[in-house]
Amino acid sequence: MASLLGRLGGWCARHGRVVLVAWIILAGGLTAGTLVFGRPVNSNASIPGTDAQRAHDLMRAGFGPGYDAGGTVQIVLYSKDGTLLTAERRRAVEKAMVEVRKVPHVVRVDTPYRVGGVSSNLSIGVITVRLSGQDPGKLAETSRQISEAAQPVRAAGIEAVPADNATAADKEIKTGTSEIIGVGCALLVLLLAFGTLVAALVPIFTAIISLGVGLGVIGLLGHVMDVPKQASVMASMIGLGVGIDYALFLLSRYRKLLADGVPVHESVRRTAAGAGGAVLFAGGTVVIALTALMLAGFPMLRTLGWITGISVVCAVLTSLTLVPALLGILGHRVNALRLPFVGPRRGRAHASGNGWAGLGTWVAGRPWRVLLVAVILLGALAAPALALRLGPTDDGYADRGTAARRAYELMDTGFGPGSNGALIVVGELDTKVGNGDPPAPVVKDLKNRLGYVPGVAYVAAAKINVSGTSVLFQVLPEYAPSDPRAAGVVRAVRGLHVPGVRLHVGGEVAGMTDAGDRIAQRTPLVIAVVVLLSALLLLIAFRAPLVAMKAALMNLISLGAAFGALAIFFSYGLGSRLVGMHPPVSMNGSYLATLFFTVPIDSYVPLMLFAVLFGLSMDYEVFLLTSVRQAYLRSGDNRRAVAEGLGATGRVITSAALIMVVVFVAFIAYPDPLVKVFGVGLAVAIAVDATVIRGLLVPATMVLLGRLNWWCPAWLERILPNLSVADHTDEEPARPGPDKELVITGRN
């Protein structure tokens, strides 16, 4: 494999301009395609085989507009200086309803002056707009049009805020600012690491091209399949981080070879053969971890996983082709535009006596003590994870000033917290009933029983479908959607036994409850598959069973630290304000309660974080082990190899990790709570992984294992494919003569 990658890198270096132009045309063409044809998105939150899905399927069968796939939009009204019942305000509301009826796909508009349409203080009301034939992916646009049509009520001094029945997964996440901040911070880190402007711009340019291609592919995929709205921001986060990191590893190796006197094209070939193989295997572990989410049993999570993997594939491809092309074009000019007093001095950038080599020697001299300290530190970081609070994150945690947050607060104040997460209870009837008054005895009995369920605040009037075979109730719990007690109400309703009726419970709370249960069942399987496949990939890469198993264990440890940080920030509430979140209006007014307020974490987030972090952690493991393995092949001394390997990669891994951290921290600025959770978890995990794990724990354990690190039974050696990335010293002498006469030979 190393020979193949070397030949590929050498070809790209010799045909650099062709490769560069091809990538620019591809990125530009895909980006133009998304601008012309758009980026359709549709967060399919269905979970086949669950009770909530059955309720939603029945709801769409014969209950009329607003209950089918078209959806519902509400205009929440608030009169701050009087009631909504004055003649002037009633006329304004009726005029707004007339305008709303003109909006496409609107088939019914329910007045707020109905039973349950106006709050008890008469200052908050709800216009309910029923849609039909509406594309679910365009609900946000329809909501905007309906909100604009309600302008007459605003002219009368009434606040009007749109709210739709989209779930948190459907909320649009716009990208842009955080990517710019992340790129700017990454450029600063690269300038400090390399000390030259040209070298610093190579990873940035490569990552931008990679991200353009990846986002273009993802955007166009929306025309043929459901693409979650989170896909673009997740692809940006991961793709930008790994794209810069992979190019950084290649560039560092290339500059070292140039400093050693190796000609340009030969340096590119050796870089692609050695560091390129590490990049390929590192990217492979990330893709494996993300695609394993297909086993989670949650369609949106499955799609989000493999679509995010597209950005990683693009990062690997640009690293293996575009980076060699740029290096071939630039040659020694990669060190041009050196900045004074920044970066390592010429001739000392790769000196063996650097601080990381000193740390490696220090760790090698006292491995047991280092191991003990590292384990205690990581245990302390991971311990808070036991208190991690999982649950749906409702619009009460949305960014202040958004329509979603304002509508949530008005509904909470006027109609109670459960109004923001109504349960859809659908009963399949054994005998047909009519939709008359009084209702059929079985319907009346069911409504009474629902009203007596603990935690139920209100049960709306029954609605019978056109065939008379199903009955539907909207049930308001006493609790907000993010309150864990709301899930208890769902289970209590499902536990009712009414003769002649088979009950199903849907709605956002029920759906997230079923998602949490399904993911909890599948999590052990996903973890096992990710760990085993990643360990297998490392086994193929290094032909060392103990190293592969140990690497998987180390990654699990760093994940514990990440979940511990999430618990501290969100479950204990110690950092919720630090990341720009504000307490919901339903929380009491005490100072401490609003200063340190807890935020639930959606049940699918930890599994998604696990997949992403496990793959990213493997990146640094691969680069460190590659260097240690090559040093061991040169000297045969395990302690010396550990010290040399850490010394050779410590600075690069630290720079790469710092870039990842600043990119992920930049995404915390997003108003969406989901993105904030990912930003915190990814940033902390990468920081811990690159320092405590790779700087202390991994070297200490490798010293203690000695020659067992690289032991492989003969029978396993025979059956493993010959795809090792580190079974060469990568230290061939420089060949004389101009670059154009180089003959690509030698042992790889």
Per-residue buried b or exposed e for 363-384, using 16+ beta carbons within 10 Å of the residue's own CB:
bbeebeebbeebeeebeebbeb
Nearest to 657 by CA among 610, 702, 614, 616: 616
Comparing 72-164 with 359-391+520-562+606-727, is the CATH topology the same? Answer: no
Task: Provide the pLDDT for residue 17.
Answer: 93
Q: Rounded to a whole number, what is the distance in angstroms from the first to the last CA of the chain?
A: 9
| CATH topology assigned to domain 1-41+180-343 | Multidrug efflux transporter AcrB transmembrane fold (1.20.1640)
In tens, the pLDDT along 602-636 reads: 888 888 888 888 878 777 788 888 888 888 888 88
Residue 81 phi, psi dihedral angles, 5° rounding = -125, 35
pLDDT of 10 higher than 80:
yes
User: What is the average per-residue pLDDT within 651-666?
Assistant: 85
Q: Which of 197-201, 233-237, 717-721, 741-745 has the lowest mean pLDDT?
A: 741-745
pLDDT of 747 higher than 50:
no
Under 8 Å between Cβ of 507 and 690: no
Q: Which of 10-19, 153-162, 589-598 has the lowest mean pLDDT?
A: 589-598
* Helix (H) / strand (E) containing 716: helix 714-719
The pTM of the full predicted model, rounded to 2 decimals, is 0.80
Q: Can you tell me the distance from the alpha carbon of 602 to that of 610, in angstroms, rounded to the nearest whole number?
A: 14
Under 8 Å between Cβ of 337 and 198: yes
By three-state DSSP, how is residue 299 classified?
A: helix
Residue 733: how many CB atoms within 10 A of its CB? 9
User: What is the average per-residue pLDDT within 133-160?
Assistant: 84
Q: Can you tell me the distance from the alpha carbon of 450 to that of 425, in angstroms, rounded to the nearest whole number?
A: 9
Q: Can you tell me the distance from the alpha carbon of 472 to that of 452, in angstroms, rounded to the nearest whole number?
A: 17
User: What is the average per-residue pLDDT within 250-263?
Assistant: 88
Q: Can you tell me the distance from the alpha carbon of 525 to that of 443, in angstroms, rounded to the nearest whole number?
A: 42
The token duo for 218 is 């993802």
* Helix (H) / strand (E) containing 370: helix 367-382
Task: Provide the pLDDT for residue 740.
Answer: 38
Sequence-ordered list of residues with C-beta below 8 angstroms from that of 567, at least 6 positions apart, any chain: 384, 385, 386, 387, 388, 389
- Report the top-level CATH class of 359-391+520-562+606-727: mainly alpha
Is the model more confident about 67 or about 21? 21
Is the model more confident about 705 or about 24? 24
Specify the pairing of strand 456-459 against strand 423-429. Answer: unpaired
Task: Provide the pLDDT for residue 158.
Answer: 92
In tens, the pLDDT along 570-582 reads: 888 887 777 777 7
Under 8 Å between Cβ of 398 and 673: yes
Under 8 Å between Cβ of 250 and 279: yes
Task: Provide the pLDDT for residue 4.
Answer: 84
pLDDT band, very low/low/confident/very high, at 69 (cuts 50, 70, 90): low
Which span out of 71-75, 288-292, 356-360, 447-451 was modeled with the highest average pLDDT?
Answer: 447-451
β-bridge partners, 477: 456
Under 8 Å between Cβ of 253 and 262: no
Q: What share of the chain is helix, strand, coil (3-state, %, to 5)?
A: 65, 10, 30
Under 8 Å between Cβ of 415 and 511: no
In tens, the pLDDT along 536-556 reads: 888 887 888 888 888 888 878
Q: Outline where 292-331 has alpha helix (H).
A: 299-330
pLDDT band, very low/low/confident/very high, at 533 (cuts 50, 70, 90): confident
Task: Provide the pLDDT for residue 562.
Answer: 85
Q: Can you tell me the distance from the alpha carbon of 349 to that of 340, in angstroms, rounded to the nearest whole number?
A: 15
DSSP track, 633-662:
HHH--HHHHHHHHHHHHHHHHHHHHHHHHH
User: What is the average per-residue pLDDT within 717-734?
Assistant: 61
Q: Which of 129-138, 236-245, 418-427, 721-730 has the lowest mean pLDDT?
A: 721-730
The token duo for 693 is 């794990």
Classify residue 436 by burial, with Cβ atoms within 10 Å: 0-12, 13-18, 19+.
exposed
pLDDT of 113 higher than 80:
yes
User: What is the average per-residue pLDDT within 381-397?
Assistant: 84
DSSP track, 243-295:
HHHHHHHHHHHHHHHHHTT--HHHHHHHHHHHHHHHHHHHHHHHHHHHHGGGG
The token duo for 296 is 């989670």
Is the model more confident about 606 or about 596? 606
In tens, the pLDDT along 483-514 reads: 889 999 999 999 998 888 999 999 888 988 88
In tens, the pLDDT along 46-65 reads: 778 889 889 888 888 777 76
Task: Provide the pLDDT for residue 724.
Answer: 61
User: What is the average per-residue pLDDT within 289-297?
Assistant: 85
Task: Provide the pLDDT for residue 19.
Answer: 94
Residue 505 phi, psi dihedral angles, 5° rounding = -120, 125
Mean pLDDT value across the chain: 82
Q: What kind of architecture, by CATH, is found in domain 72-164?
A: 2-Layer Sandwich (3.30)
DSSP track, 554-580:
HHHHHHHHHHHHHIIIIIS-SSTTTTT
pLDDT band, very low/low/confident/very high, at 25 (cuts 50, 70, 90): very high
Q: What is the three-state SS of 728-741?
A: CCCCCCCCCCCHHH
pLDDT of 741 higher than 60:
no
Task: Provide the pLDDT for residue 127.
Answer: 92
Task: Provide the pLDDT for residue 131.
Answer: 85
The token duo for 640 is 């010396």
pLDDT of 435 higher than 80:
no
DSSP track, 47-85:
-TTSHHHHHHHHHTTTS-TTTSTT-EEEEEEE-TTS-TT
User: What is the average per-residue pLDDT within 285-303?
Assistant: 84
By three-state DSSP, how is residue 338 classified?
A: strand
Under 8 Å between Cβ of 315 and 249: no
In tens, the pLDDT along 173-184 reads: 455 576 788 788
pLDDT of 415 higher than 80:
yes
In tens, the pLDDT along 457-472 reads: 999 888 888 888 899 9
Strand-by-strand arrangement of the 106-110 sheet: 106-110, 124-131, 72-78, 159-164
Task: Provide the pLDDT for residue 41.
Answer: 65
Hey, where are the domains in the chain? 1-41+180-343, 72-164, 359-391+520-562+606-727
In tens, the pLDDT along 477-488 reads: 999 888 889 999
Under 8 Å between Cβ of 746 and 732: yes
Nearest to 677 by CA among 569, 573, 542, 521: 569
Residue % of the chain over a pLDDT of 90? 20
Rg (CA), the chain: 30
User: What is the average per-residue pLDDT within 71-89?
Assistant: 89
Nearest to 58 by CA among 423, 465, 439: 465
Residue % of the chain over a pLDDT of 70? 88
